[in-house]
Structure 1
Amino acid sequence: MITAGTALSHETTVHAAAPIAAKQAPGFYRYKVGDFEVTVITDGALAFPVENFVSNATTEQVKAALAAAHRATDALSVPFSPIVVNTGSKLILIDTGLGDAAFERSKGTVGQFATNLKAAGLERSNIDAVVISHFHIDHVDGLVAADGKPAFPHAEIFVPAAEWKFWMDEGEMSRAPKGRIEGLFKNSRRVFGALGGKVTPYEEGKEVLAGLTAIATPGHSVGHTSFVLSSGASSVFIQGDVAHIPVLFVANPGWHASIDQDPVMAEATRRKVYDMLVAEKMLVQGFHYPFPALAHVEKTANGYREVLMPWNPNI
């Protein structure tokens, strides 16, 4: 009997070994929504401790959920996926990733947006509008370039009016608990201070730009906002952080992420949104879904299940 190992041992021709690449190809992916072209740009991924990531489930339960989805259980890999929408007349960026400073700190593990945007044939100077879903660092820090200047010099910056009101309120800041929330207040002032405070607040339930409607999805943060992108008969729900890592929070919508500002409200929002996605069979673009982060959603006995769209070699 000839085994694979035996066959290999009798090879007589040896080719020069290729060097180990140790890096992925540029991370971008394109698909159409009607006449619009969406480009998903990976900003990379960070490993977080599994412990305490879910505030109302045990570490053992979280590890079991990860294992059931064939994921590593020693750490939680969290991807970041901003998108660029080409409407034919404007280039619209939705959320920014962690920015240049994070790229330096992580030695390229995250903060990859600018590099991958360039690989996709675009530059930050090409962006006409940046639309922010909420003020957490992975969604706003990319607004500032390595030199401390605006990263998107020609873009109008749109922010949720409710987020702006909360995070820029001195009274709210004075009452913020020490730690993460206090840090977010300070970070918001740093980021938007670098822009000279030049932002355009938008209201829920209205079009931010043609084809992009803001939907209030509070809980993860006070003014957390999602979007429906529509062109012709096609649409996609851009959910921000309505559900974080899907194998945890889509499968278990009652689980609360420790980073949710109001976890009870976040759960109610998540269930409402995901019931709608199921009923309308609407595609969802998830900021922390596995790249390229586009999926359908199905109802299950205990929650929901994401069905990731297969990679399409054609647009």
Structure 2
Amino acid sequence: MELTRRHALAGAAAIVAAPLLPSIGARAAAPMADKQAPSFYRYKVGDVQVTVVSDGVNTFPLGDSFVLNAKKDDVAAALEKAYMPKDKVSIQFGPLVINTGGKLVVLDTGNGPGAFASSKGNVGQFATNMVAAGFDPKAIDMVVISHFHGDHVNGLLTADGTPAFPNAEVLVPSVEWKFWMDDGEMSKASGDRMKGLFVNNRKIFEVALKKKVTPYEWGKEVAPGLLAAETAGHTPGHTSYVLSSGSGKVFIQSDLTNVPYLFAANPGWHAFFDQDADMAEKARRKTLDMVVADKLQLQGFHFPFPGLGNVEKDGNGYRVIPAPWNPVI
């Protein structure tokens, strides 16, 4: 179409007049939110339903001793490679509620109400998120503990020091129980961290729970479809699990690795919280090789939420590929 002089003059007049028109500002439909929705995610393993319930995220500066046998610069480079801040570490926590159809089973309990208060809600979210997911703590039949670190056992108690799951049987690894309840081992503990763990575990299991626990053995089913697997090293009785139902199967690795972009990618790295670092490394390599060979899905307590993925060999280490979010249970 030919542009006439009249058209051009009309267009120029419109441009000049445009600033005189009233401006219409964008208006937000609602106030900005100040928190996330309650964090839980469900999936099925055969006929069993698993609900991953977030306990929150702990972020802290990367120190020189977070990885004992690696340079801080190498750890920072691994963080940066994973698109994380190179000067900070963020550790997530993901306890489980397993509905077998006949039993409601909690697997590890998170950092607890004390940590919720001291962290201003960053961690210790398991209790509130579990209720938001539709679970009544009084309806829990069994609580299975993988090992006796605070981020796994502190949620056994409420803020007033009473049992958080009053009607549940509490099951603990027999090797773990024997170690932490041994007065001789407690007398040999060195360093504030180990001494503090003994004090905390005695407060929970001896004082609050009055030793009303059921020790279990490796290689045996501790709940319907939940087989206990020995993965010692992180602690003397550290336990992982194979959850099976029908043709479905998932390996629940507990703390076999911490964040995967550090300790699965670099299985030879020794975290400062591994009690026997050499044994923990051997367990990590052996177990991840098995998971790769058997093509098992993996559920990681410290993996990015919701912590479910697949594992493949990647050079000298392993790569965890997160399972895609599924809107259908």
Deviations 1:113-145 (A, max 9, x none): 111111111121121100000000000000011
Question: Where does 1:219-238 land on structure 2 (aligned, <5 Å)?
Answer: 219-238=233-252
C-alpha distance in structure 2 between counterparts of 1:259 and 1:72, whole Å: 21
CA contact (8 A) 1:159 1:200 kept: yes
CA contact (8 A) 1:80 1:288 kept: yes
Counterpart in the other structure of 2:326: 312
Counterpart in the other structure of 1:178: 191
Instruction: State the shift of 1:48 in Å.
Output: 2.6
CA contact (8 A) 1:235 1:283 kept: yes
Q: Does 1:161 align with 2:174?
A: yes
- 1:97 is matched with which residue: 105, 110, 127? 110
CA contact (8 A) 1:160 1:203 kept: yes
More deviation, 48-57/186-195 = 48-57
Q: For residues 57 and 34 of structure 1, do their structure 2 counterparts lie closer, same or farther at Cα, with a shift above 3 Å needed?
A: same
Q: Which amino acid aligns with 2:281?
A: E
User: How many aligned positions are there?
Assistant: 306
Superposition RMSD on alpha carbons, in Å? 1.1
- 1:217 is matched with which residue: 226, 231, 246? 231
SS of residue paired to 1:38: strand
Deviations 1:37-74 (A, max 9, x none): 00000000111331121111111001100000101122
Instruction: State the shift of 1:30 in Å.
Output: 0.1
Counterpart in the other structure of 1:204: 218
C-alpha distance in structure 2 between counterparts of 1:266 and 1:15, whole Å: 55
Instruction: State the shift of 1:159 in Å.
Output: 0.1
Instruction: State the shift of 1:102 in Å.
Output: 1.2
Q: Which amino acid aligns with 1:218?
A: A
CA contact (8 A) 1:114 1:123 kept: no
Identity %: 59
C-alpha distance in structure 2 between counterparts of 1:153 and 1:73, whole Å: 43
CA contact (8 A) 1:98 1:141 kept: yes
- 1:40 is matched with which residue: 52, 74, 91? 52
Counterpart in the other structure of 1:280: 294
Instruction: State the shift of 1:16 in Å.
Output: 4.2
- 1:69 is matched with which residue: 82, 93, 99? 82
C-alpha distance in structure 2 between counterparts of 1:189 and 1:226, whole Å: 23
Counterpart in the other structure of 1:4: none
C-alpha distance in structure 1 between counterparts of 2:110 and 2:40, whole Å: 14
C-alpha distance in structure 2 between counterparts of 1:280 and 1:28, whole Å: 28
SS of residue paired to 2:90: strand
CA contact (8 A) 1:48 1:76 kept: yes
TM-score (norm 1): 0.95
SS of residue paired to 2:106: strand
SS of residue paired to 2:320: strand
Q: Which amino acid aligns with 1:181?
A: M
Q: Does 1:266 align with 2:288?
A: no
Q: Does 1:244 align with 2:258?
A: yes
Instruction: State the shift of 1:13 in Å.
Output: 4.5
More deviation, 284-293/48-57 = 48-57
Decide which structure has the larger Cα Rg and report it. Answer: 2
| Unmatched tracts of structure 1, length 5 or more | 1-9
| Unmatched tracts of structure 2, length 5 or more | 1-21
Q: Which amino acid aligns with 1:200?
A: T
SS of residue paired to 2:153: helix
Instruction: State the shift of 1:11 in Å.
Output: 6.2
Instruction: State the shift of 1:206 in Å.
Output: 0.6
SS of residue paired to 2:57: strand
TM-score (norm 2): 0.91
Instruction: State the shift of 1:14 in Å.
Output: 2.9
Deviations 1:63-92 (A, max 9, x none): 100000101122101000000100011100
Instruction: State the shift of 1:17 in Å.
Output: 6.1
Instruction: State the shift of 1:277 in Å.
Output: 0.6
Question: Where does 1:76-155 land on structure 2 (aligned, <5 Å)?
Answer: 76-155=89-168
Counterpart in the other structure of 1:21: 33
C-alpha distance in structure 2 between counterparts of 1:182 and 1:169, whole Å: 13
C-alpha distance in structure 2 between counterparts of 1:16 and 1:124, whole Å: 39
Superposition misfits of 4+ residues, deviation over 3 angstroms = none
C-alpha distance in structure 2 between counterparts of 1:221 and 1:14, whole Å: 56
Q: Which amino acid aligns with 1:42?
A: S
C-alpha distance in structure 2 between counterparts of 1:144 and 1:50, whole Å: 30
Q: Does 1:292 align with 2:300?
A: no
SS of residue paired to 2:291: helix
C-alpha distance in structure 2 between counterparts of 1:205 and 1:48, whole Å: 36
More deviation, 118-127/162-171 = 118-127
More deviation, 10-19/245-254 = 10-19
SS of residue paired to 2:115: helix
Deviations 1:153-183 (A, max 9, x none): 0100000000000000000000110211111
